[in-house]
A and B are shown apart, each in its own frame.
Chain A
Amino acid sequence: MFLETLSTLLESTLATIYMVIVAGISAFIFGLPIAIGLTVTSKGMFYENLLLHKILSSIVTIGRSVPFVILMVAIIPFTRFVVGTSIGTAAAMVPLSVAAIPYFARIVEGKLANINRGLIEAAQAMGSSPMQIIWKVLLPESIPSILNSCTILFVSLTEYSAMAGAVGGSGLGNMAIQYGYYQFNTPVMMQALVTLVMLVLLIQFVGDYITRKFSH
């Protein structure tokens, strides 16, 4: 019984990990600059631009407010355009990334806002350019909290990937629903569930460890 489903489990786990990593990386690549943009255009900062800040912030809020299930369906044309299909692992990654970008941007923005303004002022007094402040003060000082945000991001993505998978037809979520729930096969469902939980625990553990390594 257990062995029969083992290959499905392995396949599903890999699909989940694949989805989470790709969506996580795109959230990081696009979300971090948005977070920095939000921070440096806020009131009292060196690129203060309240209009731009408001626009960016609104986009992030809208992105965050659309329920994920609806987002998945709503952006199917976009998903087709990007990956050429609307089902499977690749197709699940697109809405996952789209949802994760504003999510990550908002968390990191909150962390960056906690940076001591005095540090930025001190850097300005030293004759630094805004770019130097971002690279040599803002980012290095927030490495631990950005790492912490990454942990939160990956845990949330694992969660959402189950939903995306269920709709798109891959990953642990799909396995739990298709092979477990719909076929009244509780052991299969439990296998998928336990693996998901283990995955989350692992992410949290590794994330905490790395964050601690980088905290001074």
Chain B
Amino acid sequence: MIKLIGIKKYFKTKLGISHALKGIDLQVSKGEIFGIIGKSGAGKSTLLRTVNLLERPSEGEVILDSVSLTSLKEVELRKQRRNIGMIFQHFNLLSSATVYKNVALPLEFANVDKKEINERVRYLLEVTGLSDKENHYPHQLSGGQKQRVAIARSLASNPKVLLCDEATSALDPETTKSILSLLKEINQKFGVTILLITHEMEVVKSICDRVAVIENGEIIESSSMVEIFSNPKTKVTKALVRSAFHISLPESIEKNLIQFPAEGLHPILKISFVGESANEAIISHLVMKFNLSVSILQAHIDVISNSPIGIMLCQISGSQDQIKLGIDFLSQSNITTEVLGYVSGNIKYTA
């Protein structure tokens, strides 16, 4: 549906050329919700805006539904942009126009006749739950309602793709949830492909099918949701996953971690289960088969893309040989195990 090929973007500044995007290849399939996550300044906003050429890439090609947008003339590009809806962090509604007028705007741009506009706007206001707000002005609405108006507006011209530029970053958690479920609903109801950027893993976790991690203008990791959560490869991704699961060692323990095994030290493991293995009783396996004692420090289970995923931090103690066998056993099964470090004695929790 969307294909980005070798997208580069550089800006000339006083200090020389700064590279915002360093050659990005990305492919988003029809009907999917694709998330791009990264810290601020990573280039995600610039990347999103190259898709509808609000930001023209310095190099590379943007293809939408087998039409190469980058090679289009201005007038043709305008027509193609009607296939791409966009919503923004700060909504960008006309303050001088009512909700109705705001939603009608893209249709007026496309010179659709009044009667058709009326039908379409009424329908979209119904879908987004704003029918009673038709004659309100944006300043009379809450943040969530404003974003709903923006969503209705973005859908007015029946787009194939919806771009979301930090669409929930200005909203509180409760409203974020309702906006995300509206996006999901739209994705399923109208088959709109959604490409969203965010800095919050929570957002990605709750609606995306696939995700790409962007850092310093490059995509450093891109895979399915389950894969990225159960087996993050880069440091940035690991940090993001941690933030979504709220799993991390207390600082006092983290500081005293010893990186190498030795006599009298007990390893702290991070165990990630995905799918079926999340249901297996691996802890009791460790205890019974290898005669180890396992103390769970933290654990979290979630459902991502319909498959259960769990992350657990635990400390194992027992004889060195048995510990090694136990870890080998875990690695052989469908469980990702990572030794975070070693501590002496048992961890005492002081919360």
Q: Do A and B come from one complex?
A: yes
| A residues in contact (CB < 8 Å) with B | 116, 118-119, 121-129, 132, 136-137, 140-141, 143-144, 216
Q: How many Å from the CB of A40 to the closest CB on chain B?
A: 15
| 8 Å CB contact of A127 from B82, B94, B153 | B82
Residues of A within 8 A of B90 (CB): 118
**Residue of B79, B80, B94 with most partner-chain A CB within 10 A:** B94
Q: Is B108 in contact with chain A by the CB < 8 A criterion? A: yes
Q: How far is the CA of A132 from the CA of B82 in the complex (A)?
A: 14
Q: How many Å from the CB of A116 to the closest CB on chain B?
A: 7
**Residue of A125, A143, A216 with most partner-chain B CB within 10 A:** A125
Closest to B109 in A: A128
Residues of B within 8 A of A124 (CB): 54, 81
Tell whether, in the assembled complex, residue B109 and residue A123 are in contact, meaning their CB atoms are under 8 Å apart.
yes
Q: How many Å from the CB of A65 to the closest CB on chain B?
A: 31
Residues of A within 8 A of B138 (CB): 216
| 8 Å CB contact of B108 from A121, A136, A143 | A136
Closest to A124 in B: B54
Contact with A along B35-66 (1 / 0, CB 8 A): 00000000000000000101000000000000
Interface size of B as a range: 20 to 34
Known contacts A121-B54, A122-B86, A140-B97, A127 near B92 by CB under 8 Å: no
Closest to B94 in A: A141
Closest to A214 in B: B96
Q: How far is the CA of A141 from the CA of B138 in the complex (A)?
A: 12
Q: Is B230 in contact with chain A by the CB < 8 A criterion? A: no
**Residue of B54, B96, B106 with most partner-chain A CB within 10 A:** B96
Q: How many Å from the CB of A216 to the closest CB on chain B?
A: 4
Closest to A142 in B: B96
Q: How far is the CA of A125 from the CA of B54 in the complex (A)?
A: 7
Known contacts A116-B92, A119-B94, A141-B96, A125 near B105 by CB under 8 Å: no
Contact with A along B57-91 (1 / 0, CB 8 A): 00000000000000000000011111011101010
**Residue of A136, A144, A216 with most partner-chain B CB within 10 A:** A216
Residues of B within 8 A of A140 (CB): 94, 96-97
Residues of A within 8 A of B153 (CB): 126
Q: List 28 A-B contacts (CB under 8 A).
A: A119-B93, A119-B94, A122-B86, A122-B88, A122-B92, A123-B105, A123-B109, A125-B54, A125-B81, A125-B84, A126-B86, A126-B106, A126-B109, A127-B78, A127-B79, A127-B110, A128-B106, A129-B78, A132-B109, A136-B109, A137-B94, A140-B94, A140-B97, A141-B94, A141-B95, A141-B96, A216-B137, A216-B138
Q: How far is the CA of A123 from the CA of B81 in the complex (A)?
A: 10
Closest to A216 in B: B137
Q: Is B157 in contact with chain A by the CB < 8 A criterion? A: yes
Q: Is B139 in contact with chain A by the CB < 8 A criterion? A: yes
Q: How far is the CA of A89 from the CA of B85 in the complex (A)?
A: 56
Q: How far is the CA of A119 from the CA of B138 in the complex (A)?
A: 13
Closest to A128 in B: B109
Q: How many Å from the CB of B61 to the closest CB on chain A?
A: 19
Tell whether, in the assembled complex, residue A121 and residue B92 are in contact, meaning their CB atoms are under 8 Å apart.
yes
Tell whether, in the assembled complex, residue B97 and residue A126 are in contact, meaning their CB atoms are under 8 Å apart.
no
Q: How far is the CA of A79 from the CA of B90 in the complex (A)?
A: 51
Q: A127-B109, A140-B96 are in contact. List 9 more A-B contacts (CB 8 A).
A: A116-B92, A118-B88, A119-B93, A119-B94, A126-B109, A127-B79, A132-B108, A136-B109, A137-B94
Q: How far is the CA of A121 from the CA of B52 in the complex (A)?
A: 11
